[in-house]
Amino acid sequence: MTAQIIDGKAFAAGLREKVGELAARFEAAAGRKAGLAVVLVGDDPASQVYVASKAKQTVACGMNSFEHRLPADTAQDDLEALVDQLNADPAVDGILVQLPLPKGLDEQAVVARISPDKDVDGLTPTSTGRLALGLPGLVPCTPLGSLMLLKDQLGDLSGMDAVVIGRSILVGKPMAQLLLGENCTVTIAHSRTRDLPEVVRGADIVVAAVGRAEMVKPEWLKPGAIVIDVGINRLDPEPGKEKGRLVGDVDFAGASEVVKAITPVPGGVGPMTIAVLLRNTLVAAHRNEGLSDPEGL
């Protein structure tokens, strides 16, 4: 068996196109563009690249991008005051504080300050509670993007056995909640799980989100399973090369001989994250204006 490669890049492009079409309809209905505010504290190079990409794609979809770049020595009170200001700004529908924050700043306090109705990262305690209770809310981008890819492959997920490897608040826990919401039987596995290979081997769906390069081996996987690899790890460079290859948490080459379908790294889940961020911003804009959620998102 050679697995089908799940093309997250192509799916994300289609999602961004749909968001762009619906953003134009929102502007016509509301008399304004949907708006996303991104707050970047400090000068972390990776975060700067990521924020620039978000801003570019936000504008390309016909929405407003508001960037706030603050120095690394910004005080906690000043950062929280900016979040309060953005909460009160009717032109801002989504607020994203780029993580990690510089040392000395309380990330949890800053995130909790964001209005749940503008929490496009889905990380506030209220958003987390809404997801757990099955109430309408904004959901973390990477898990929701992963679910979209799964449903595109499988349609109805009801009754399937799913294993999520990893229990982070960013991916593992919300992913498990989303799969429960689709009537899967869900196991959350992690570093303390006994006989992890045996646990994974029973799964129809495997979501790997641990941050350990190629940890999941092909012999761990059920033939015909669907694998969503959220991990992104850089290997040591080969002789004569400046950078090492990017790989996921799953042994891609080996797994491809066993499973039915698998996301590659790069080009799988990664492109979905920003596309879903744009989707969440537009959904938030509709709700903030008292409009029904946009159809098809």
Question: pLDDT > 70: what percent of the chain?
Answer: 100
Q: Degrees (nearest 5) of the Cα angle 263, 267, 268? A: 30
For residues 282 and 63, give the distance between their C-alpha atoms in angstroms, rounded to a whole number: 8
**Assigned token pair, 284:** 């938030």
Parts of the chain belonging to CATH 3.40.50.720 = 141-271
pLDDT of residue 56: 95
pLDDT of residue 1: 66
pLDDT of residue 279: 98
Name the active-site residue from 117, 119, 121, 204.
Answer: 121
Q: Is 121 a catalytic residue?
A: yes
pLDDT, tens digit (0-9, with 9 covering 90-100), for 253-275: 999 999 999 999 999 999 999 99
Report yes or no: 142 and 12 within 8 Å, Cβ to Cβ.
no
For residues 19 and 278, give the distance between their C-alpha atoms in angstroms, rounded to a whole number: 7
Compute the mean pLDDT over every residue in the chain, rounded to the nearest whole number.
Answer: 96
Superfamily, domain 30-116: Leucine Dehydrogenase, chain A, domain 1 (3.40.50.10860)
Parts of the chain belonging to CATH 3.40.50.10860 = 30-116
| pLDDT confidence bin for 177, thresholds 50/70/90 | very high
pLDDT of residue 21: 97
| pLDDT confidence bin for 126, thresholds 50/70/90 | very high
pTM of the model: 0.95
Name the active-site residue from 93, 98, 222, 251.
Answer: 98
Residues 277-289, mean pLDDT to the nearest whole number: 98
Sheet holding 205-208, edge to edge: 4-5, 261-262, 226-229, 205-208, 161-165, 185-189
Q: Is 241 a catalytic residue?
A: no
Q: Is 156 a catalytic residue?
A: no
CATH class of 141-271: alpha beta
